[in-house]
């Protein structure tokens, strides 16, 4: 088992990438602190983990709130005695997120609060826990759009993921000598509820797919496999990376400097 005796805290674990990662980490031996703002989804994931014969707790939290993020880290440490892996995965893509002219300030602020402040708060309270454990791995979910513009306008989401990527690099450099690794996981377009609700017409889906060399949307389980690598000791010499799982889209469109 690649995560035997490890404790992982996963935000946004009620569905999509978070759920698939929680289940995979559990199968690989980790104990899971499962965080979500929706108790039905979060508890359902915990039940799935329990059915695998592994340990998990559900922690309901609004990750845009400092007090909730402090509490989720404390809950994981209290239940399992330590924290080895922090996966800051929770995020939103608002249906009314568009270009700079269309997007309302409230949508911008809400997106930044969920997608960026949550990562800041997760690290603010998670890093001391990782120190107490002697080090560990932080994985922050960014996106391929942190590296290139999206074909369908989503200015707040794109800016938020650029911020996550930049924050991850800074944290990686600052904490590299503490045995704390920080990497940004950058998925491409995925067939998840989050993206499919945003690409809510066939025309929007095709406009995105035409740019993907593999010609299909990725699956959440494929991103979970990448998260497993970053969480495990197999990636022990990796920190500060933009770990792309994107069907080749950035290779096709991003020119190296």
Q: Pairing state of beta strands 242-245 and 7-11?
A: unpaired
125 given a catalytic annotation: no
Rounded Cα gap, residues 254 and 210, in angstroms? 16
Q: How far apart are CA 185 and CA 44, in angstroms?
A: 25
Residue count of the chain, please give it. 257
Token output for 170? 């800074």
DSSP helix, strand, coil percent of the chain (3-state; round to 5):
50, 15, 35
Catalytic-role residue among 125, 157, 237, 253: 157
CB 37 within 8 A of CB 63: yes
By annotation, the residues acting in catalysis are 157
């Amino acid at each position: 088992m690649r995560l035997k005796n490890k404790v992982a805290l996963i935000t946004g674990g009620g569905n999509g990438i978070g759920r698939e990662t929680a289940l995979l980490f559990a199968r690989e031996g980790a104990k899971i602190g499962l965080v979500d703002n929706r108790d039905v989804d979060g508890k359902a994931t915990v039940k799935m983990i329990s059915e695998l014969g592994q340990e998990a707790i559900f922690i309901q939290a609004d990750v845009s709130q400092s007090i909730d993020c402090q509490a989720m880290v404390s809950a994981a440490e209290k239940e399992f005695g330590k924290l080895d892996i922090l996966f800051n995965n929770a995020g939103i893509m608002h249906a009314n997120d568009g270009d700079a002219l269309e997007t309302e300030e409230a949508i911008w602020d809400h997106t930044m609060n969920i997608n960026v402040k949550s990562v800041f708060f997760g690290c603010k309270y998670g890093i001391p826990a990782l120190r107490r454990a002697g080090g560990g791995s932080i994985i922050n979910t960014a996106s391929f759009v942190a590296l290139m513009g999206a074909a369908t306008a989503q200015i707040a989401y794109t800016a938020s993921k650029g911020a996550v990527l930049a924050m991850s690099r800074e944290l990686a450099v600052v904490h590299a000598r503490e045995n704390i690794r920080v990497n940004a996981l950058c998925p491409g377009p995925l067939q998840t509820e989050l993206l499919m609700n945003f690409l809510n017409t066939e025309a929007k889906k095709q406009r995105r797919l035409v740019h993907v060399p593999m010609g299909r949307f990725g699956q959440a389980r494929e991103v979970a496999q990448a998260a497993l690598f970053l969480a495990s000791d197999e990636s022990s010499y990796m920190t500060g990376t933009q770990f792309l799982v994107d069907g080749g889209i950035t290779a096709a469109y991003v020119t190296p400097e």
